[in-house]
Structure 1
Amino acid sequence: MSGRPEVLFPLFAAADTLKGVGPKIAQNLQQIGLETPRDLLFLLPYSVLDRRRRSTIRGLELPGIATVEVTIGSHRPARNKGGAYRINVTDQEEEFQLVFFHGRSRYLEAQCPEGSRRLVSGKLELFDGMAQMVHPDHMLPLAEAEDIPEFEPVYPLTHGVTQKTMTKAVQSALTRLPDLSEWIDPALCSREGWPSWREALQQAHVPQGQEDLDPEASPRARLAYDELFAHQVTLALARQQERQRKGRASLATGHLQSRVLSALPYRPTGAQARAIEEISADMARDIRMNRLLQGDVGAGKTLVAFMALLVAVEAGGQGVMMAPTGILAQQHLEGLKPLAEDAGVVLEVLTGRDKGTERRKKLDALARGDIQILVGTHAVFQQDVAFKDLRLAVVDEQHRFGVRQRMELAEKGQGADVLVMTATPIPRSLALAQYGDMEVSVLDEKPPGRKPVKTAVVATERMQEVVEHLRGAIEEGRQCYWVCPLVGESEVMDLTAAEERFNHLRAALGEGQVGLVHGQMPPAEKDAAMEAFVSGKTKVLVATTVIEVGVNVPNASIMVIERAEIFGLAQLHQLRGRVGRGSAQSTCLLLYQPPLSEGGRRRLEVLRETEDGFRISETDLQMRGAGDVIGTAQSGLPKFRIADLEKQAPLMALAQSDARALLAKDPDLTSERGQAVRVLLWLMKQDQAIRLISVG
């Protein structure tokens, strides 16, 4: 399979080979990513205009689209330059006007001679008691009336391309549809009642009403499935290739794990125990582990990850835990230190800050195997970092990692197992889109002793009461986070806002009680301010959102979030998770500036009602769409043209099981259906998958 199958050539020709598309228009189409007939075919109409004929406009709800046969009456040319040219017309029962701005009399008189019959179609509006159709979309002699479809598809446009041109180009692309062999499991096709690929495209481009635009409509569902299926085949191929690479069997003896478990003041939750078991079983096999550990705020991922790292050490090897930033690596280190002491293993940290002899020493110890568990940033990827026997890499993902980076990481340790952690509960459909090549363990219980956080929604004008409430809490010895919003486009403005709040609280609560951290501070000052808060020297920490990840201060039991309405749901949920870590009852106050938008109100309500991160992320997905939830800018999330991850989540799960089942039966895609799937991969531009097959 060296190159694109010939049957697809017509779909991958240049756009200017289509009817009505010249070089100029081809260039404009390119602006919105439409370069070939294939791209136009996957650009489905987003709306449909009902152009069914009526005998009269009487009884039509205005404004509305009307398509009606009329007799042309008198012409009234514009009185002044730029005025309106009007033509009176009558249908079977009513009289109305066609209106043209900058209308040229000569042209209009030739088009619509008085007394002639025409079919007109366009938007009808009431103006000064008279029904008017301004610039009709269609105005044809009856002989050409057939040219107006009963339902006209409406396409997304770009500068310099009209609906007419777009429709013509798409119609021209439809004439090139090849007959392709079916790649969907025939049983699934008949169960869902889906048309063939070719029929699905033909039907999707001639919607017969609003309901045909629904993602559930059979042609659209089929085309969405093709897209999701191609994506899942790619992930399944990557997974298959991973699994062919020999892993290392790392057998847990339990002698280190039992030390940690007996030192814990509580028993692990059922979910934690299950995850530890799944991971240990994976590590014991000689196939490389590729697993995702997904847990809500405070669900105890650290313990699970540490237990996995101990399996590597018990088996005589080393483990590494990677974080996206130095601050996070530092926090993982603090979280793991007490556990490492209980287990009696050597734990070190390596970040970009390590220089010179200090760094050299660590690298030597690592190569000798004296460091058993390393915590670090991407610095552990560098050439000169060598492990004696790396068995497990734990990646704290924070969404900075795509499939490709996961593959690179695995190269570092010959056959090392990979465990990816994510603290953002992701709805199942998105998890499958982004991590479809992985097995998944979910932590969906809170460890014992975690009290629910009370959440209240308060308008900014009650700021004074909030400050009074804080004063009381501080007197009882409690601590508080006060998060300032990122207000401006510029960090300078955010800084001013944070400094103002800091000064205001300092004046109200006393000089030494309040600390400040923000993104512009030198690292050493930031660390000092955090340190003062962690040790309890300062009671209130005013911060921009730098604290949302990782910080652990059990004594902090109040979280105030200013202008909560401008934060995303997932972010608010993460921030709230910073309190409720100790034994005291914790509170989260969401301060908002009225009036709230509909979306803002719904977001704050969801937070008040639930602490379930998965429910919150489902709501976030419905409200903002997939790209925002994961932060598309740096996510590994693919861009789907037709499939709608919010509304078609069940299709994604179906596509995953279908793709895996197919590859289990036909790993090289050589069967008849396998060959059809190869064509699909080319059609969907799944380059990564194509590389994997051609190599295999």
Structure 2
Amino acid sequence: MATLADRLDHLLGRKTADALADAFGMTTVEDLLRHYPHRYATQGAELGDSKPLEGQHITIIAHVEKADEVRMKSRPGTRLAVVLVSDRHKIDVTFFNPHKVKYNIKPGVRGMFSGTVKYFRDKWSLAHPSYVILPEPRDAEIGGAAPARGRVRGAGALAGLARSAQSGDGIDMSIFDRALIPMYPATRDVESWTVMRCVRQVLDQLDTVDEPLPEEVRREHGLIGLDEALRSVHLPDTKEEVARARDRLRFDEAAALQLVMARRRHDVQVRTAPRCPRRGGGLADEFDRRLPFELTAGQKSVAEEISADLAREHPMNRLLQGEVGSGKTIVALRAMLQVIDAGHQCVLLAPTEVLAAQHARSLTTMLGDLAAAGELGAHELATRVTLVTGSMTAARKRQALLDAVSGDAGIVIGTHALIQEGVDFFDLGLVVIDEQHRFGVQQRDALRGRGRDGAAPHVLVMTATPIPRTIAMTVLGDLEVSTLRELPRGRSPIVSRVVPAKVHPAWVDRAWERIGEEVAEGRQAYVVCSRIGDGDADEDAVPGVFELEPEPAGGGKGKQKPPETKSVLQQYEELAAGPLRDLRVGLLHGRLPADEKDATMRDFGAGNIDVLVCTTVVEVGVDVPNATVMVIVDADRFGVSQLHQLRGRVGRGGHQGLCLLVTETKPGTPTMARLESVAGTTDGFALAQLDLQLRREGDVLGVAQSGTVSTLRLLSLVDDVEVISAAQRFARSVTEDDPDLTRHPGLARMVTAALDAEKVEYLEKS
């Protein structure tokens, strides 16, 4: 007999175990049994009375009723027109190479057919599906003896099943007598049928599986036991069994994630941090007294939460999320001043040099003589703001590092250069991380160990990309979340429009005219492009968001190529010599030297440049209140959240903002629908949910954590909010009394079994 902890090579042999380990990282019985079927083939009953969706992949077992070779009307040659009978359905199937299949696909034979649903004149069919010819069910055999069968025949994706059945260790074909046949995620080297055979072999030897979840938790959520779930998900008799098994195993995944998060939260709570209570009559009070505007109700409420966190002896670990332009920076600055009043330093970590320099300028401007410590005319309470970037001259960097290590600088602003060896601080009390999703976890974590005498600094993470609740609970489950929803008084919502360049080329000309009209009124504009130049290694290129439109029916030959896009260099030259030749046009992208980038941004901020043609270096943090128009070229190359971030650069003053999304995409396509959704709302939280639905959780978890594909197998961050919430409550209740899960070994094992081992290690390390 076998247990979940047993090694696969002891049960399956070294050759098979090595193949599973190479393909999927499986080494134990539990690894294999947690590799769930991603769909089930049926005897046709799954089709029910409704029609399948266009593009849906279905796998059915059916008998061939007809198989006629007919001449094609639109081109030379013949096709094999087949009618399958499955359950109570008749399905039309076409094979375009009849000479290869007509000897296998004959009336009366029984087979498994797998393909994609296509519609023609409101009737659906399968075109050239994969197939394997199966023996008749055993209950149809005479005298119970297996019918003699020769070579098992198959083609396409199911050819592997035929090969497996023919091999000496082939799969038991009786599994195809079942109502539901499991179909597994596979690779070229380890096909679904190999996994199926291994799973059946292991289940035949498996002891009853110990139950890691408390009985009361299972009863509360109506969950079956783990033993039943693992057996039912692989060899179910009904779809109801599949649903119950998946519900249980889905909760396991959610609980595993939340246990990791709860342990991280506990680890933070047991650390010590410098207590930084609000001090009357200090720098923070003086700054508040000078504010030329009143904070919004949301800013005041969030500021009180942060202030209370800073006053405690355990490190704050808080996420501050808010709409573009909602005033997060002023909230963060007030928190930094509270920490400085308590005698400690602050770090502001930005993802780009452009943004770091922008923060240094804006904070220095807001503080005025309160940021001029050591200078003539400085206020008696003044501190110093210091910028540290990788491209600074040696002399400037040496002075900046001296300011940091001596404590002369109360606020140190920089990029990842602050994380490097040799950057030390006198007494670090608060780390503010702007646009946290732009940093790797290790980068963010590096500053947490820089506190004095072993103390951990408080951490405030900011993002203008609103995070759906499920993402916050899973990826950022150890953080307290504060949200700013309202915009400061006097700021108008941004108007956005899609400009379909292919359908209405004149609208593009009108976009350039619109920029000219705004400049004539004394305002400024951005033109944003998706890449720098003609090379493939553009550091500002937009990664991983472009999706090809589906080819039209009967589409052309070969693989579809992405449409040509306009580089920022090409766009700059065309505009400066063409429709904007009478305006002052500037250029900004990531390959420019740091001092040139900084000078360009200074000129744009001072109004010396009318139109800035740029890449996504202006995506976050850049604040030029006089800019009112943004034209995003090749907008289909950007993701939903990125478009929302970019357009937040305009309309930051008292004038209406306008964002024009120029695209060559055809109307009626999914990409055009995505752009129209962005143009239709300025609600960043609604767009974040749309982004999650479009990208699904693999990308989102990857971006937020490690850049790898999500290891979630059944849990959906889109659909399973209630499951994740229930698992979070359960995990926190367990870790309050047993943070290391020493009294819950089953739960500890479940964490590593339900999730990929490397992901668990990564989450815990972060």
TM-score (norm 2): 0.76
Question: Does the aligned pair in 1 maintain the 2:327–2:487 contact within 8 Å?
Answer: yes
Instruction: Output the amino acid matched with 2:750.
Output: L
| Match for residue 432 of structure 2 among 368, 375, 394 | 394
Question: Which residue of structure 2 aligns with residue 490 of structure 1?
Answer: 536
CA distance in 1, matches of 2:421, 2:707: 25
| Match for residue 327 of structure 1 among 337, 340, 354 | 354
Question: Which residue of structure 1 aligns with residue 19 of structure 2?
Answer: 27
Question: Which residue of structure 2 aligns with residue 446 of structure 1?
Answer: 487
Alignment of 1:522-541 (within 5 A): 522-541=593-612
Alignment of 1:71-470 (within 5 A): 122=113, 136-140=132-136, 142-143=140-141, 144=146, 147=175, 148-207=177-236, 217-254=243-280, 255-341=282-368, 343=370, 344-401=382-439, 404-413=442-451, 414-415=454-455, 416-460=457-501, 461=505, 462-470=507-515
Alignment of 1:473-488 (within 5 A): 473-486=518-531
| Match for residue 612 of structure 1 among 683, 686, 691 | 683
Instruction: Output the amino acid matched with 2:8.
Output: A
1:385-408 C-alpha deviation (Å, 9 max, x unpaired): 332222111122432445555443
Higher mean C-alpha deviation, range 605-614 or range 590-599: 590-599
CA distance in 2, matches of 1:547, 1:7: 56
Matched, 1:42 2:17: no
Secondary structure of 1:627's aligned partner? helix
Secondary structure of 1:435's aligned partner? coil
Instruction: Output the amino acid matched with 1:600.
Output: T
Instruction: Output the amino acid matched with 2:37.
Output: P
Shift of 1:573: 0.1
TM-score (norm 1): 0.83
Shift of 1:479: 0.9
Secondary structure of 2:579's aligned partner? helix
Instruction: Output the amino acid matched with 2:731.
Output: A
* Cα 1:464–1:345 shift into 2, 3 Å: same
Higher mean C-alpha deviation, range 412-421 or range 580-589: 412-421
Shift of 1:475: 1.3
Shift of 1:266: 2.0
Matched, 1:627 2:627: no
CA distance in 2, matches of 1:436, 1:421: 15
Shift of 1:478: 1.5
Secondary structure of 1:140's aligned partner? coil
Question: Which residue of structure 2 aligns with residue 644 of structure 1?
Answer: 716
Matched, 1:51 2:43: yes
Structure 1: segments with no counterpart, 5+ residues = 1-5, 55-59, 74-82
Question: Does the aligned pair in 2 maintain the 1:427–1:614 contact within 8 Å?
Answer: yes
Shift of 1:135: 5.3
Question: Which residue of structure 2 aligns with residue 520 of structure 1?
Answer: 591
Shift of 1:329: 1.4
Secondary structure of 2:181's aligned partner? strand
* Cα 1:527–1:511 shift into 2, 3 Å: farther
CA distance in 1, matches of 2:23, 2:369: 60
Instruction: Output the amino acid matched with 1:174.
Output: L
Question: Which residue of structure 1 aligns with residue 156 of structure 2?
Answer: none
* Cα 1:190–1:339 shift into 2, 3 Å: same
Secondary structure of 1:457's aligned partner? strand
Shift of 1:412: 0.6
Question: Does the aligned pair in 2 maintain the 1:49–1:152 contact within 8 Å?
Answer: yes
CA distance in 1, matches of 2:676, 2:267: 45
CA distance in 2, matches of 1:472, 1:69: 69
CA distance in 2, matches of 1:528, 1:43: 55
1:253-310 C-alpha deviation (Å, 9 max, x unpaired): 1432222223223221222112211111111111122222222211111111111111
Shift of 1:557: 0.3
Structure 2: segments with no counterpart, 5+ residues = 47-51, 68-77, 148-173, 371-381, 539-563
Instruction: Output the amino acid matched with 2:648.
Output: G
1:127-149 C-alpha deviation (Å, 9 max, x unpaired): xx9x9999543123733495421
1:41-77 C-alpha deviation (Å, 9 max, x unpaired): 22222222222699xxxxx99x98454599x99xxxx
Secondary structure of 2:5's aligned partner? helix
| Match for residue 750 of structure 2 among 658, 680, 683 | 680
Shift of 1:668: 4.2
Q: How many residues align?
A: 658
Alignment of 1:533-682 (within 5 A): 533-596=604-667, 598-629=669-700, 632=703, 635=706, 639-671=711-743, 674-682=744-752
Question: Which residue of structure 1 aligns with residue 5 of structure 2?
Answer: 9
Secondary structure of 2:660's aligned partner? strand
Instruction: Output the amino acid matched with 1:679.
Output: R
Identity of aligned residues (%): 35
Question: Does the aligned pair in 1 maintain the 2:475–2:701 contact within 8 Å?
Answer: no
Shift of 1:677: 1.5
